[in-house]
Structure 1
Amino acid sequence: MKISEAIEQQLPYLRRYGRGVLGSAALGDRAVEAMLEDLLGNLPDAIDRPSLFKLLDRTFERLPRLIDAQNTGVQGISPQPRRALLLTAMEGFNTAEAGMVLGVSAARVDELLDSAEVELSDMLKSRIFIIEDEPLIAASLSQLVKSLGHSIAGIAVTRDQAVQAVLETRPDLILADIQLADGSQGTEAVKEIWSEFSVPVVFITAFPERMLTGSPGEPAFLIPKPFKPAQVKAVVTQALFIQSMRQN
C-alpha cells in the first residue's frame, strides 16, 4: 500500500483520537492538519499506524503555539493516563503499540492504565441521558453507565422526546444515537438542545467514518456501533473529564 493511501485510510481514526484527547472536533482536526503538514513536508518511504499516531500525539504539545489558544479555549491536552486509555480501548492498540505512541514502555502503559482506573473511580458521579431507539442497545448502555457509578437521567427514542426530556432533566452528559425511530437524527436533537444549554454529547453510530471527514459541525466524541464496553467507558469518562476541565 502506498504511504498516501495508508495515511488516507487512518485519517478518520486520527481525527477521532485528536478530538477525543482535546475534547473538540475543531481542535482535534487542526492537530491532525498540523501533523499532516509536517509529515508531507518530509514524507518517509513507509509509515505504520502507531507511527502516525505518535506524530499526532507529539503535535498536541505544540498546538497552542499553532492557534490562538485563548480564543479557541485550549485547556491543555489530556494527561498520559487518559491518552493511554483512549489508545487501547478506543483505537485498539496493544500496550506495546500504545507505548510507542506515547514514547514510553509497555510496562509504563500498564501503569498509566492503572492510574486512569484510579482517576475514573474518583470521578464525580454524573447523570447521563440516553437517546437510543433500539431497546437492547439502550439497556446495554444503561447497564454500562450504571456500572461506572453514574445514574440514568432518562431515555428517549425520538427527537421530540429527547429535546423535551433533556431540557427538563438537564443531565451532565448525553449518549445519542445518530439515527432515531422517527426518522430524524440524534444530531438534530442535540443541536436543538445545545441552543438552550451546553452539555457534552457522545454520539453512537454504525458508520463513524461518515462523521469523521473533517467537515464543520462534526462531533467531538464518537463510539462505533456495535460498541465494546471498554469503548463506552473510555469515551464517556473522557467527555466528562474534558467538561470538568472547562468548568474549572
Structure 2
Amino acid sequence: MNMKDRIGAHLPYLRRFARALSGSQQSGDAFVLAMLECLVEDPTMLRGDLENRTAIYNLFLRIWNSISTNGTTEMSEDHVATLAALTPRSRQAFLLVTLENFSEEEAAQVMDVEPSEFAEMIEEAGREIAEQVATDILIIEDEPIIAMDLEALTTELGHTVIDIARTQREALDIVARRRPGLVLADIQLADGSSGLDAVNAILETFEVPVIFVTAYPERLLTGTKPEPTYLVTKPFRPQNLKVIISQALFFKERATRKIAA
C-alpha cells in the first residue's frame, strides 16, 4: 500500500482532531502539514506495527508533543472554557476517545502509553471536566446495588446525586421539585413502568443530557427510530461510564432529543 492510500482517508479526521487540540483551523492544519512534511522526508516515521489510523495519530501526537504548546480550543463557545482547562495530555486522551472514537486500547497505542496509564489520564480528564461542569444527577434505577454503584461513581467524579428514582412516577415527582443536569436511566423499572417513558416525559419539560444504562440495549437500538446518543450496556465497566458521563456533559447539546419507544 502506498503512502497516499495509507493516510489519505484519515486526513480529514486528523485535521478535525488537530483543530480541537490547537484552537484554530489555521494552527491545526499547520500541524497536520508539518506531519506530512516529516513523512515526505522519512516515510519510516509512520510505525508499521500499528493499524493505519492508529499509526497516523501516533505520529501526529509525537510531532505535537515535541513542540512546546498548550493551545486552547475554539470548537464552540460552549466547549472552549472546559476543553481549554484540561491539561494537555488529559485533553489528548479525552478527544481521542470522544471526538475520534478510538477505543481506550487504541488510544493508549496512539499516545505510546500503557493502558493503565491511559486509564489514569481519562479519569483525570473526567475530574477536570467535572470541575468545570459539575452538575446534579438524577438516577432512575430500580436495582439498589446498581443504583449505589452509580451514585458512588458519579460522586467520585465530583457530581451530586439529587435522588434515586425506582419508578417512572418517582422520577417525575423528583424533577418537578428539582431539575437535574444529567439523567442516568434504566429502561425497565420496579413497578413495570418504563424508564424510557420517564425520560421522554422529562424531555418534554426541559432539555437535559441522558445516558441509558440498561441490560436491554436492543430495545433502543432498532435502527428504525431515533436512538439515544449515549447508551451503556449492563454489566458496565466503571471506566467506560465515567468517560461517557464526561462526554455527555461536554457535548450536552447532542443528548437532549426524545427517544422513540
State the TM-score, normalizing by the size of structure 1. 0.57
> What is the letter of the counterpart of residue 159 of structure 1?
Q
1:146 aligns with 2:158: no
Q: Is the CA contact 1:87–1:98 (under 8 Å) kept in the aligned structure 2?
A: no
1:81 aligns with 2:90: no
Q: How many aligned positions are there? A: 171
Q: Is the CA contact 2:122–2:243 (under 8 Å) kept in the aligned structure 1?
A: no
1:116 counterpart residue number: 125
Unaligned runs of 5+ in 1: 1-49, 55-72
Structure with higher RCO (Cα < 8 A, 6+ apart):
1
Q: 2:211 aligns with which of 184, 202, 215?
A: 202
CA displacement, residues 80-114 of structure 1 (integer Å, 9 cap, x when unaligned): 532434599x97541xx2367xxx44349949748
Distance 1:176 1:115, change over 3 A: closer
SS class of match (2:183) = strand
1:98 counterpart residue number: 107
CA displacement, residues 190-243 of structure 1 (integer Å, 9 cap, x when unaligned): 111111111111101113344334332211111111112112211111111112
CA displacement, residues 144-165 of structure 1 (integer Å, 9 cap, x when unaligned): 1111111111111001111121
Q: Is the CA contact 1:84–1:112 (under 8 Å) kept in the aligned structure 2?
A: no
CA–CA distance in 1 between the matches of 2:244 and 2:157? 12
Q: 1:215 aligns with which of 224, 245, 260?
A: 224
Q: CA deviation at 1:125?
A: 1.6
Unaligned runs of 5+ in 2: 1-50, 56-75, 84-90, 256-261
**Identity, % of aligned pairs?**
40
> What is the letter of the counterpart of residue 156 of structure 1?
A
2:138 counterpart residue number: 129
Q: Say what the alpha-carbon RMSD is for the aligned residues.
A: 3.7
SS class of match (1:214) = coil
CA–CA distance in 1 between the matches of 2:103 and 2:193? 31
Q: Is the CA contact 2:232–2:241 (under 8 Å) kept in the aligned structure 1?
A: yes
1:157 counterpart residue number: 166
Moved more, 137-146 or 207-216: 207-216
Distance 1:142 1:99, change over 3 A: closer
Q: 1:232 aligns with which of 225, 241, 246?
A: 241
CA–CA distance in 1 between the matches of 2:103 and 2:223? 22
CA–CA distance in 1 between the matches of 2:155 and 2:182? 13
What does residue range 20-31 of structure 1 map to in structure 2 within 5 Å? none
CA–CA distance in 2 between the matches of 1:115 and 1:150? 14
CA–CA distance in 1 between the matches of 2:141 and 2:108? 35
Q: CA deviation at 1:51?
A: 7.1
State the TM-score, normalizing by the size of structure 2. 0.54
